Structure 1
């Protein structure tokens, strides 16, 4: 999977989506995603297999299990395991559900 394919998969969920952040205000639920770091498999002093770690963030104005399920079902559909974290952002009054995913060889 490539970053472009990740974008298309997230876009197909039906929520507004942006890389990093939106330039104009949007109403939740919405998704942002961005590259976090690489963790390539190395051998013989070269990066043998690229492993890119991304953060996918779902923002909702209330605890929205249905929205979370849509994102998680999409990850399962495309075969991406994830780690999930949740926090409430007081200033923005939104829940942030953060998913860490890896794209291997993309």
Structure 2
């Protein structure tokens, strides 16, 4: 899967989507995705494999399993992932993180 394919898949959720950050402040729900790790593996002195670990962050202003389900239904078609959830009290939003290799 390419980054463009990931972006297009995330757009199917109908949430605003950005890579790394939005230029303007967004109201939840919205999605940000970013590379959090990048590894290359070489064979015969040539780059043979590139592994990206990607993080998708869903920001919601209330505990909303429907919003989570929209992201998860897209991801379930693409890959396996790990998920974590936290509350950012300063922003009064829930942050749901999904991590996987691209």
With normalisation by structure 2, the TM-score equals: 0.91
Say whether residues 1:11 and 2:11 are aligned partners: yes
SS, match of residue 14 in structure 2: coil
Equivalent position SS for 2:87: strand
In structure 2, what is the Cα distance between the partners aligned to 1:98 and 1:74? 14
Moved more, 14-23 or 37-46: 37-46
Cross-structure match for 1:50: 50
Instruction: Give CA deviations for 1:10-42 in whole Å, capped at 9, x if unaligned.
Output: 011100111111111211110000111123344
Query: Distance in 1 between the 2:19 and 2:49 partners?
Result: 24
Superposed CA RMSD = 1.3
Residue 39 (structure 2) aligns with: 39
Question: Is it true that 1:83 corresponds to 2:90 in the alignment?
Answer: no
Q: Is there any run of 5+ residues in structure 2 with no aligned partner, and where?
A: none
Q: Which runs of 5+ in 1 are unaligned?
A: none
Cα deviation, 1:58-85, whole Å, max 9, x if unaligned, reads 00000110111110110112x2111101
Aligned residues between the structures: 102
2:79 & 2:67 partners in 1: Cα distance? 17
Distance 1:46 1:83 in 2: 31
Give the match's secondary structure for 1:69: helix
Counterpart of 1:63 in 2: which secondary structure? Answer: coil
